[in-house]
Structure 1
Amino acid sequence: MIFVTRPSPEGEKLSELFNQANLPAQHLPFFKISQGRDILQLQHQLNQLLPQDIVIVVSPQVTHAINQCFTHLTLPKNISYFAIGKKSAQLFKQFTEVEVNYPDREDSEGLLVLLQQQSVKQRNILILCGNSGRPLLAQTLRSRQAKVKLIECYSRSPITYQPDILSEHISQQLIIITSIEHLNQLESYSSDEHKKQSYLLVTSQRIFTKAKELTWQNVLLVKSADNQTIFNAVKQHFPASL
Structure 2
Amino acid sequence: MKILVMRPSPEGEDLVNNLKKIGIHAWHFSFFDFYSSTSLINLSNKVNDLYESNIIIIFSKKSIYYTNLYLKNHNLQWPFDAEYYTVGQSTALSLYKHVKKKLFFPKNKKIVKIY
Interval of TM-score (by shorter of Structure 1 and Structure 2): 0.5 to 0.7
Deviations along 1:139-179, whole A, 9 cap, x unmatched? xxxxxxxxxxxxxxxxxxxxxxxxxxxxxxxxxxxxxxxxx
Pair 10,98 (structure 1): closer, same or farther in 2 beyond 3 Å: farther
1:41 matched residue in structure 2: 45
1:92 matched residue in structure 2: 95
What is the deviation of 1:57? Answer: 0.9
Whether the 8 Å CA contact 1:11–1:27 is kept in 2: the answer is: no
Whether the 8 Å CA contact 1:2–1:23 is kept in 2: the answer is: no
Deviations along 1:195-216, whole A, 9 cap, x unmatched? xxxxxxxxxxxxxxxxxxxxxx
SS at match of 1:76: coil
Runs of at least 5 residues in structure 1 that lack an aligned partner in the other structure:
116-242
Q: Does 1 or 2 have the higher relative contact order (CA < 8 Å, sep 6+)?
A: 1
SS at match of 1:43: helix
Pair 46,32 (structure 1): closer, same or farther in 2 beyond 3 Å: closer
Letter of the 1:114 counterpart: I
2:77 matched residue in structure 1: 74
What is the deviation of 1:104? Answer: 0.5
Letter of the 1:29 counterpart: F
2:104 matched residue in structure 1: 101
Letter of the 1:4 counterpart: V
* Equivalent runs, 1:1-242 vs 2, <5 Å: 1-12=2-13, 14-15=15-16, 18=19, 22=22, 24=24, 26=26, 28-30=28-30, 31-34=32-35, 35=37, 37-49=41-53, 53-66=54-67, 70=70, 72=72, 73-94=76-97, 96-99=98-101, 100-105=103-108, 110=109, 114=111
Runs of at least 5 residues in structure 2 that lack an aligned partner in the other structure:
none
Normalising by structure 2, what TM-score?
Answer: 0.57
Residues paired across the two proteins, number: 103
SS at match of 2:12: helix
Structure 1 Cα separation of the partners of residues 50 and 6 of structure 2: 32
What is the deviation of 1:78? Answer: 3.6
Normalising by structure 1, what TM-score?
Answer: 0.33
C-alpha RMSD of the superposition:
3.5
Pair 54,87 (structure 1): closer, same or farther in 2 beyond 3 Å: same
Structure 2 Cα separation of the partners of residues 101 and 48 of structure 1: 19
Pair 82,7 (structure 1): closer, same or farther in 2 beyond 3 Å: same
